[in-house]
Structure 1
Amino acid sequence: MSSSPVALITGASRGIGRAIADELGTTHHLLLGGRDLTALAELSSSFPSAEPFAAELRDSGQVAAAVAGIPRLDVLVHSAGVLRMGSVAELSDDAWRESFEVNVFAVASLTRVLLPALRAAGGQVVTINSGSGYSSGAGSAAYSGTKFALRALTDALREEERGHGVRVSSIHPGRVATDMQEELHAWEGRDYRPEAWIQPDQVARAVRLAVDATRESTIETLSIRPSGIALA
């Protein structure tokens, strides 16, 4: 593994995760998280120093195999997630289960198995949360529920790890111009204009701010919202 600091980014193949990879790839050896090994290997070749981290995060066996060769880890960025919209009256048990398994349980599980490597490096955990981690509305009970839970998980982890030298940051972007946002607009029946929303690289720069904070400080929570300024 490279002598550069090491950053593992889940959901690294697209959207916010890919933007974070582009941002940290200039200074870190990247472990690019996702499920498609072939696609991740191809993506890895586009960075100065990177390799795939291929695993279904809900499969403890795959996760254990993937982390086995990581003795130390400087940055763990949780960016993988799913969006399941619908009212409480219509969402299926499977939709609820998948939402919490991907957005919360997988985060807790991967963090737990990587804490020894993070502690060894005096590392950092960054969770990509959402504005939905603070408020909810009609149709967003499942997604917001997971993001409220992720905020609680992150807050608890931060307090637990202070004595172990691991810093924990929570980034809360509002609507970001990604495939997920396009899907959300389709569900809402609204026209989608990606230029009207936060760009993924802006979220990546927020992660950079947290990662580059000097050791005596922590960016604990950072909220990013669309400005509402009309763009030409």
Structure 2
Amino acid sequence: MSTKWDVRVLAAAGAGMMGLAGVFLWRDLQVPHELLLAVAAVLASALALAEVPRHRPLVGPIALLLTGLSGGLWYAATKSGLLLTGLGLTVLASAVTVARTWRHTGTREDKVQACLLWYGLAAAVLASSWAFYFHFFTLGFAADDLGRRLVLTLGWLAAGVGLVVYGRLRGESVIRDAGFAFIAVALGKALAYDTTHLSGTLRVACFAGAGALMLGGAWLSTPRTARSA
């Protein structure tokens, strides 16, 4: 009898029993559905760190990317504060996974994995930062302060410029591209939202700050020899 068959049967049966235990535990304790996002983040991180399947470990990174995107959309639809835990765990799981599994080799499989890891981290940070901002700033202590609208725009832009500069210094295009994702979202918010929801000095400060960050990033990205010429 094949050993592989024995392992598969035992593993499938064990996973099934654990799944049933989780279902009944969840139902009997009446755990809020929003906490499923936290469970999904932990499971996705475990899959990514385990690097399954070994020959093409993309399941975990894809799961993390989808968890970040779905968590952001879920919060946008419900505005439930319980989702903040799951979103925070998604960012943490994505960051840990990038630190532990990201490779610098040039194979096609590793490049695809790197793109999924970094884009997943970017999606998680964008979604969670917006959710935390909306919960604590828009609905919280800064509800009447229009200046709060600068926080996300300039914060995302600073993160994007930092990643672009760091990616260029390291020669890692995937980090640079993740940075440009932050920049694109920040500029989109500035042009589509801030221009109509800010006025006076706040609007000037928004675009002046954005311009300064972009110019600073351009200067830092310029090779030293070109700067000193």
Question: TM-score, length-normalised on structure 1?
Answer: 0.33
Higher relative contact order by CA 8 Å / sep ≥ 6: 1 or 2? 1
Whose helix proportion is higher, 1 or 2?
2
Question: TM-score, length-normalised on structure 2?
Answer: 0.33
Whose strand proportion is higher, 1 or 2?
1
